[in-house]
Amino acid sequence: QVTLKESGPALVKPTQTLTLTCTFSGLSLRTAGMRVNWIRQPPGKALEWLAHIDWDDDKFYSTSLKTRLTISKDTSKNQVVLTMTNMDPVDTATYYCSRTTATPWETAMATGYYYYMDVWGKGTTVTVSS
Amino acid sequence: DIQLTQSPSSLSASIGDRITITCRASESIGTYLNWYQHKSGKAPKLLIYAASSLQSGVPSRFSGSGSGTDFTLTISSLQPEDFATYFCQQSYNTQGVTFGPGTKVDIK
């Protein structure tokens, strides 16, 4: 059974750096094709993808937040860490981590993968306030 | 980034109703569209991937359809546990995943 759990501070002050940890079990980031994401949801708003990291250490960031985000992994600890600098009250949100699974497809002309987030953590709520 | 819109933003329905939620992409995304159910305080749950494939363990009253820019999620007979918010998500651009704004389904 795959599980993911987010952890981090419940409260941070404006301008501080937020560090969140996703600890998982039942999957390994040493496995080819594995991917872990960070997503957030501000109160009353939509889900927003922030970043993901792949098994081979490829990393991708939200265009609008990439200057503030760093994602990393510790395969020995089964953890993925996200840091977000210069926190602001608008960053108040519930932060989730999730696993992406890829399912291959093939036609006579092409091949590819469908990607979807099939396992999520329950989230951790972060409030930014002085 | 590929933008997703959903309609309606909310709806009220009764147990047993058939409901349909629409998701529209700002450009063609083939069938790279997933649907999630989200209840407050819980982890989002994958319902449908690749526009129409039912995730393992999800009841068959959920179905998805569409391709290109227009997609639908249908619940054939609404159950009490289905009252939640539903999000679509595109995976066409895997380096820039985006979600729709959500549709809240509540009890009439």
pLDDT of residue B41: 86
**Closest by CA position to B68, among listed B26, B102, B106, B98:** B26
| Chain B residues 56-85 with CB within 8 Å of chain A | none
Reported as a single tens digit per residue, the pLDDT across A48-57 is 999 999 999 9
B99 vs A contacts (CB less than 8 Å): 39, 46-49
CB–CB contact A116 B49 (8 Å): yes
Q: How far is A46 from chain B (nearest CA, A)?
A: 5
Token pair 């999800």: residue: B58
CB–CB contact B32 A114 (8 Å): yes
Q: How far apart are the first and last CA of chain A?
A: 40
Q: Is B86 at the interface with chain A, CB within 8 A?
A: no
pLDDT of residue A80: 98
Looking at every residue in chain A, the average pLDDT score rounds to 95
pLDDT of residue B55: 97
Token pair 């951790």: residue: A124
Look at the alpha carbons of B34, B97, B87, A19 in this order and tell me if their dihedral is positive or negative: positive
A49 vs B contacts (CB less than 8 Å): 96-99
pLDDT of residue A108: 86
The 3-state DSSP class for residue A19 equals strand
Looking at every residue in chain B, the average pLDDT score rounds to 95
**DSSP string for B47-87:** EEETTTEEPTT--TTEEEEEETTEEEEEESS--GGG-SEEE
Q: Which of B32, B36, B99 sits opposite A49 (nearest CB)?
A: B99
Identify the burial level of A64 via C-beta atoms within 10 angstroms of its C-beta, where 0-12 means exposed, 13-18 middle and 19 or more buried: exposed
For chain B (108 residues), the mean pLDDT of every run of 10, in chain order, is 95 96 97 96 95 97 98 97 96 89 94
Residues A97 and A35: beta-carbon distance below 8 Å: no
Structure token pair of residue B69: 């820019």
Identify the burial level of B74 via C-beta atoms within 10 angstroms of its C-beta, where 0-12 means exposed, 13-18 middle and 19 or more buried: middle
Give the mean model confidence (pLDDT) for residues A86-104. Answer: 96
CB–CB contact A117 B46 (8 Å): yes
A40: nearest CA partner in chain B: B99
CA A28, CA A38: separation in Å to the nearest integer? Answer: 17
When pLDDT is cut at 50, 70 and 90, the band that residue A126 belongs to is very high
A4: nearest CA partner in chain B: B43
CB–CB contact B46 A116 (8 Å): yes
The 3-state DSSP class for residue B28 equals coil
